C-alpha cells in the first residue's frame, strides 16, 4: 500500500513537472561561448544540462541569425535559475501571435503596359522580378493551387539556399520554379499544446501543407501567377494574379490551430534569412510591446540589416485608437482599405423598403416571396447575437433571422440560424463596426448591413406585428465610388511603443480580396462547410500586407541596390490621400474624413513608388542610435541588435530624430520641436525641389532651406523643420494633422505629420 502511495505521489510530481513546463526564449551573450564548445548549439545544450535530465528534449530551437540564443521547454524555477547566469542577457516566456485575418492589380494600376517604371515597360519589370524571393510566414501553402504554376519561369535563382521539406501529406516534388521553398516550425506550438510531440493533437501533422487557407491566400496575393476564370463560387470572376507575378515564393508554416508562437516565428524568420529571401511577409501580430520583447521586431531587425524588406499587418482592432501591432520603424506597418469592387445584396422588408447590403452567398436564393422576420425572440440572452444554442427552432423555423454582429464569427451566426431551421439571415452591424460592410460566403442566404440600416431594420422588427423580409443578391459590381475607404477594422495609431514614430505606414487593399485557397477547408473555415473552392474572398490587414510585400518585390527588382528603408520611403512618400471622387480618404467606421493615424502616408501607388524622385534612407547605425534613445538598457538594445560592442554612447535627444519618411510631433510640455531630415536623390541629376507645408492653425511650421538642389544622382541633402505650438493651446487639445511636401514638375515627395499635445 505504501509502495502504491509512493508511486502515486511520484506520478503526481511528474504530472506537475509536465504541466508546469512552458517555452522560454533565452537571449545569450553570443561572444561568451567557451572555446571548448564547437558550436553555439552545443553550448546551449550544456547550459541546460544542469537544469534538466533531458537537455536534448528541452532545447527546442537554437538561433544564430535572427536572434542570439535558444528556445527551451522549462518550468518557471528552471527559467529563473537560467536567468542568473552571467552569459544570459534575458529569459522571456513565449508569446502567442494571431493571424490578422481579382481586381487588385488593376485597381493599383499594375496592368498598365507602359509608364510603370521610368524608361521600362511592365514586361521588363516582370523579368527583373524573377530573381526576387518572397518569404511568407503563415499557415503554410496548398502547393497544387494554380496560383503557384511555374509555366515560363526560368531556373531557381542560384542564391537560393532553401528547400521543400517532406511530410506525410507533402511531397517535396510539389515545389517548383514558382513555389521554391516550403518548411514548417511547430516545436513551440507542440510544447504549448501539451508537452511536445508525445502529446501532439491528432490531425495536426507537422507539415508545410495549409489546412487553414490563410497562408495560401496571402502567398498568392503577394506573388501568385496569372489564373484565368478565377472566382469564389461565381463572385469576383476574372483573372486572379498576385502583385509580383514572376517573383518566387517560399512558405514558412509558423501558425497552427491555436495560434502562431513566438519561438516558431523566430525559427521561421531565421531560416528564411539564411535561405536567402529578399522580402518577408507576416500577416500576423500580437499586442504592442517594447521592441526587445517583440519577437517579430527582433527577427525583422536582422532581416533589415541583411537587406531584406519586412512587411507586417497593422492588426484588425480598429476603429479603436492605439491598437496597432508591428510598429518597429524597420518594419512596414500596413493598414487596410477597400477596392472599387462590391458584392451588393438587398433586404426587402414587408413595408416595401429595400435596404442595401453585401453578400457572397452563392447557393439557391430564397425566391421573391417575403417570409417572417425574427429578432431577439425567445428566452435566451444571446439570441440577438445568434450565439450557438440561443435560437428557438419553434420561433425561427422557415424565417429570416436578424443577427447583431459581434462576439462570434459572422459566418458562424449563419450556421446557427440554418441549424435552427431559419432560411435566411440579415447580419446587422452595431456601433463597434459602424458602416463597414464585409462580404462573406455564407452557408444560407444572408445579407450584411451597416449600423444605421441595421437600426432601422431592428426598429421595424420590434414595432411591426408581423414583420417580413426577402433577400436578393446582386452579384459583382465594379467602379464603386468612393474608393478606397479606410476599413473600420484596420488598427489605428497613435503608436504607443514609440509615439514619435507615426504608424501605420500605409494602407493597401484589404477588404473582399480574391486569392487562392486551400482545398482542405470550405470558404467559411467552418467544420460544417463541405464546399470546396480554389479561390476565396477574405478581408483583413492580413490581406493588405502581402499586397505591399509583392509591391516591395517589384521595387526591389527595379532597384536592386535600394535598402529596405529606401523601398519603404518610396511606397510612403508617393502614397495618395484622395479617393476616386477626388475627395480626402474617408473612414468606413463612421463615414468621416480619415487621418494619418488610420491611413498613415496614404494608399500605396505602385506606379509612382517605382520612381519616387527622393527617398529617406536609414542605416543600421541610425536605427541603433534610435534604440539607444528609448531608455532601454544596453542589454535590451543588444537583444535587438545582436552586436556585442554596443555602448549607446551616441543617442538622439528625441527618438523622432530618426530619418523617417513621416513625422509624429509630440509636444508634451514643450512648445518647440525641431527635426532634421536627409533626402537622397534617386531621380535625375540637376533636380530642384521646393517645399510646401500644410498644418493646423494651432502650429507654426517653418522649413530651412525651402529649396533643395541635387546636382547628381545619389546626392544627399538635409533640411530642418521647426514646429511651434501656438501659445495657449491646451495640453488636452485633440490631435491635428498636416504634411510636408518636396515637389517639382515630376515628383511630389509627401510626408504626413501628426501633432499631439499629450500621449493620449
Domain positions in the chain are 22-93, 106-193+206-338+483-610, 344-473, 614-618+659-756
* pLDDT above 60 for 183: yes
Average pLDDT over residues 26-46: 91
| Grid coordinates belonging to 566 | 529606401
Q: What are the backbone angles phi and psi of residue 556, rounded to the nearest 5°?
A: -60, -40
pLDDT band at residue 363, thresholds of 50, 70 and 90? Answer: confident
Burial class (CB within 10 angstroms; exposed 0-12, middle 13-18, buried 19+) of 471: buried
What would the mean pLDDT of 490-504 be, rounded to a whole number? 96
CATH fold of 344-473: Glucose Oxidase; domain 1 (3.50.30)
pLDDT at 634 over 50: yes
Q: What is the pLDDT of residues 91-114, one digit of tens each?
A: 999 999 998 863 445 555 555 544
Predicted pLDDT at 246: 95
Q: 700: buried, middle or exposed (CB in 10 Å: 19+, 13-18, 0-12)?
A: middle
pLDDT at 157: 96
Task: Read off the pLDDT of each residue in 468-487 and give the average, rounded to a whole number.
Answer: 93
- Does residue 40 have an active-site annotation? no
C-alpha cell at 657: 530624430
Tell me whether strands 468-473 and 371-374 are parallel, antiparallel or unpaired: antiparallel
CA–CA separation, 428 and 402 (whole Å): 7
Instruction: Yes or no: say if 536 and 142 are a contact pair by the CB < 8 Å rule.
Output: no
pLDDT of residue 758: 82
| Contact partners, residue 143, CB within 8 Å, separation at least 6 | 170, 174, 175, 179, 182, 209
Query: What kind and span of H or E run contains 267?
Result: helix 262-275
Cα-to-chain-centroid distance, residue 72: 28
Does residue 224 have a pLDDT over 90? yes
Kindly list the distances between the CA atom of residue 732 and the CA atoms of 492, 502, 725, 736, 757, in Å, as whole numbers in the listed order: 19, 19, 13, 12, 7
pLDDT at 121: 64
Q: Do the two domains 106-193+206-338+483-610 and 614-618+659-756 of this chain adopt the same fold?
A: no
Architecture (CATH level 2) of domain 614-618+659-756: Sandwich (2.60)
Residue of 27, 68, 100, 214 marked active site: 214
What pLDDT score was predicted for residue 737? 98
Measured between alpha carbons, how far is 295 from 264 in angstroms, rounded to an integer? Answer: 10
Cell of 368: 421573391
Residues 6 or more apart whose Cβ sits within 8 Å of residue 15: none
| 542 part of the active site | yes
The arithmetic mean of pLDDT across residues 678-695, rounded, is: 97
Average pLDDT, integer, range 512-525: 91
Is the distance from CB of 339 to CB of 512 less than 8 angstroms? yes
Among 370, 22, 429, 421, CA closest to 192: 22
Residue 509, Cβ density class (10 Å: 0-12 exposed, 13-18 middle, ≥19 buried):
buried
Active site residue 278: no
Plot region of 591 (φ>0 → left; ψ -120 to 50 → alpha; else → beta): left
Predicted confidence (pLDDT) per residue in 141-166, tens digit:
999 999 999 999 999 999 999 999 99
Q: What is the C-alpha separation between 568 and 598, in angstroms, rounded?
A: 18
How far apart, in whole angstroms, are the C-alpha atoms of residue 79 and residue 76?
Answer: 5
Choose the weakest-confidence range: 107-121, 150-164, 274-288, 298-312. 107-121
Of 177-181, 346-350, 528-532, 707-711, minimum mean pLDDT range: 528-532
Enter the DSSP assignment of 291: G
Three-class secondary structure of residue 137 per DSSP:
strand
Mind listing the pLDDT tens digit for each residue in 231-242? 787 778 888 899
Out of 311, 483, 542, 754, the active site residue is: 542
- Percent of the chain at pLDDT exceeding 70: 93
Give the cell for residue 184. Answer: 514548417
* Percent of the chain whose predicted confidence (pLDDT) is above 90: 74
Strand partners, 724: 672, 700
Enter the pTM of the model. Answer: 0.92
The CA-CA-CA angle for residues 123, 126, 130, to 5°, reads 140
Residue of 94, 131, 138, 212 with catalytic role: 138
pLDDT of residue 431: 86
pLDDT at 433: 79
Residue 123 pLDDT = 72
Q: What is the DSSP letter of 583?
A: S
- Is it the case that residue 644 has pLDDT exceeding 50? yes
CATH number of 106-193+206-338+483-610: 3.40.50.200
DSSP letter for each residue of 185-208: --HHHHHHTTSSGGGPPTT--SSS
Cβ 555 vs Cβ 562: under 8 Å: yes
Contacts (Cβ under 8 Å, ≥6 apart) of 253: 138, 139, 140, 141, 182, 183, 184, 185, 186, 207, 208, 209, 210, 215, 268
Topology given in CATH for the domain delimited by 22-93: Alpha-Beta Plaits (3.30.70)
Over residues 9-20, mean pLDDT? 40
Q: Is 15's pLDDT higher than 50?
A: no
The predicted pLDDT at position 198 comes to 36
Task: Using the predicted structure, report yes or no on whether residue 486 has a pLDDT greater than 60.
Answer: yes
Dump the DSSP string for 20-67. H-EEEEEEE-GGG--TT-SSHHHHHHHHHHTT-S-HHHHEEEEESSS-
Amino acid at each position: 500500500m505504501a509502495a502504491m502511495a509512493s508511486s502515486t505521489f511520484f506520478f503526481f510530481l511528474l504530472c506537475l513537472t509536465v504541466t508546469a513546463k512552458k517555452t522560454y526564449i533565452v537571449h545569450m551573450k553570443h561572444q561568451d561561448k567557451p572555446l571548448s564548445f564547437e558550436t553555439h548549439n552545443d553550448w546551449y545544450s550544456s547550459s541546460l544540462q544542469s537544469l534538466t535530465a533531458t537537455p536534448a528534449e528541452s532545447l527546442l530551437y537554437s538561433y544564430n541569425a535572427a536572434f542570439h540564443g535558444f528556445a527551451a521547454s522549462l518550468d518557471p524555477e528552471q527559467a529563473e535559475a537560467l536567468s542568473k547566469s552571467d552569459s544570459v542577457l534575458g529569459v522571456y516566456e513565449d508569446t502567442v501571435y494571431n493571424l490578422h485575418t481579382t481586381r487588385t492589380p488593376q485597381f493599383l494600376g499594375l496592368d498598365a503596359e507602359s509608364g510603370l517604371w521610368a524608361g521600362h515597360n511592365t514586361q521588363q519589370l516582370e523579368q527583373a522580378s524573377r530573381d526576387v524571393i518572397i518569404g511568407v510566414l503563415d499557415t503554410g501553402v496548398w502547393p497544387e493551387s494554380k496560383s503557384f504554376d511555374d509555366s515560363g519561369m526560368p531556373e531557381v535563382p542560384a542564391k537560393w539556399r532553401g528547400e521543400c521539406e517532406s511530410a506525410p501529406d507533402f511531397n517535396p516534388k510539389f515545389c517548383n520554379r514558382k513555389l521554391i521553398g516550403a518548411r514548417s516550425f511547430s516545436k513551440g506550438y507542440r510544447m504549448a499544446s501539451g508537452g511536445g510531440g508525445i502529446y501532439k493533437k491528432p490531425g495536426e501533422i507537422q507539415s508545410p501543407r495549409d489546412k487553414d487557407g490563410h497562408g495560401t491566400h496571402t502567398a498568392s496575393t503577394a506573388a501568385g501567377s496569372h489564373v484565368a476564370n478565377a472566382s469564389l463560387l461565381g463572385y469576383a470572376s476574372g483573372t486572379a494574379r498576385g502583385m509580383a507575378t514572376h517573383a518566387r515564393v517560399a512558405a514558412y508554416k509558423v501558425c497552427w490551430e491555436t495560434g502562431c508562437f513566438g519561438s516558431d516565428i523566430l525559427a521561421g524568420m531565421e531560416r528564411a534569412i539564411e535561405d536567402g529571401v529578399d522580402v518577408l511577409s507576416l500577416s500576423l501580430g500580437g499586442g504592442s510591446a517594447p521592441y526587445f520583447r517583440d519577437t517579430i521586431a527582433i527577427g525583422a531587425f536582422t532581416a533589415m540589416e541583411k537587406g531584406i524588406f519586412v512587411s507586417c499587418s497593422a492588426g484588425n482592432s480598429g476603429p479603436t485608437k492605439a491598437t496597432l501591432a508591428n510598429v518597429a520603424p524597420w518594419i512596414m506597418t500596413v493598414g487596410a482599405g477597400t477596392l472599387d469592387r462590391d458584392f451588393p445584396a438587398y433586404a426587402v422588408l414587408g413595408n416595401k423598403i429595400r435596404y442595401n447590403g453585401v453578400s457572397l452567398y452563392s447557393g439557391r436564393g430564397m425566391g421573391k416571396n417575403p417570409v417572417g422576420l425574427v429578432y431577439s425572440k425567445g428566452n435566451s440572452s444571446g439570441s440577438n447575437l445568434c450565439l450557438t444554442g440561443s435560437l428557438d427552432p419553434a420561433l425561427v423555423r422557415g424565417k429570416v433571422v436578424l443577427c447583431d454582429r459581434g462576439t462570434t464569427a459572422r459566418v458562424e451566426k449563419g450556421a446557427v440560424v440554418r441549424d435552427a431551421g431559419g432560411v435566411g439571415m440579415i447580419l446587422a452591424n452595431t456601433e463597434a463596426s459602424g458602416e463597414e460592410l464585409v462580404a462573406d460566403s455564407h452557408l444560407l442566404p444572408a445579407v450584411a448591413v451597416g449600423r444605421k440600416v441595421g437600426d432601422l431594420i431592428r426598429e421595424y422588427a420590434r414595432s411591426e406585428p408581423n414583420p417580413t423580409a426577402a433577400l436578393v443578391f446582386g452579384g459583382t459590381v465594379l467602379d464603386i465610388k468612393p474608393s478606397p475607404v479606410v476599413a473600420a477594422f484596420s488598427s489605428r495609431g497613435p503608436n504607443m511603443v514609440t509615439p514619435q514614430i507615426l504608424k501605420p505606414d500605409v494602407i493597401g487593399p484589404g477588404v473582399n480580396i480574391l486569392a487562392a485557397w486551400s482545398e482542405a477547408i470550405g470558404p467559411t473555415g467552418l467544420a460544417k462547410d463541405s464546399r470546396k473552392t480554389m479561390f476565396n474572398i477574405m478581408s483583413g490587414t492580413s490581406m493588405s500586407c502581402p499586397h505591399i510585400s509583392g509591391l516591395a518585390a517589384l521595387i526591389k527588382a527595379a532597384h536592386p541596390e535600394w535598402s529596405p528603408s529606401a523601398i519603404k520611403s518610396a511606397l510612403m512618400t508617393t502614397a495618395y490621400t484622395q479617393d476616386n471622387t477626388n475627395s480626402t480618404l474617408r473612414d468606413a467606421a463612421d463615414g468621416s474624413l480619415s487621418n494619418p493615424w488610420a491611413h498613415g502616408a496614404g494608399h500605396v501607388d505602385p506606379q509612382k513608388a517605382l520612381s519616387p524622385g527622393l527617398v529617406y534612407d536609414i542605416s543600421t547605425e541610425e536605427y541603433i542610435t534610435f534604440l539607444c534613445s528609448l531608455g532601454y538598457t544596453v542589454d535590451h538594445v543588444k537583444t535587438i541588435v545582436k552586436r556585442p560592442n554596443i555602448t549607446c554612447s551616441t543617442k538622439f535627444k528625441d527618438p523622432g530624430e530618426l530619418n523617417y519618411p513621416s513625422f509624429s510631433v509630440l509636444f508634451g510640455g514643450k512648445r518647440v520641436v525641431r527635426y532634421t531630415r536627409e533626402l537622397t536623390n534617386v531621380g535625375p541629376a540637376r533636380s530642384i525641389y521646393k517645399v510646401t507645408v500644410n498644418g493646423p492653425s494651432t502650429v507654426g511650421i517653418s522649413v530651412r532651406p525651402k529649396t533643395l538642389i541635387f546636382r547628381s544622382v545619389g546626392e544627399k541633402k538635409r533640411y530642418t523643420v521647426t514646429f511651434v505650438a501656438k501659445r495657449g493651446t491646451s495640453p488636452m487639445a485633440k490631435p491635428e494633422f498636416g504634411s510636408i511636401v518636396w515637389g517639382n514638375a515630376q515628383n511630389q515627395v509627401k510626408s504626413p505629420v501628426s501633432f499631439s499635445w499629450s500621449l493620449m
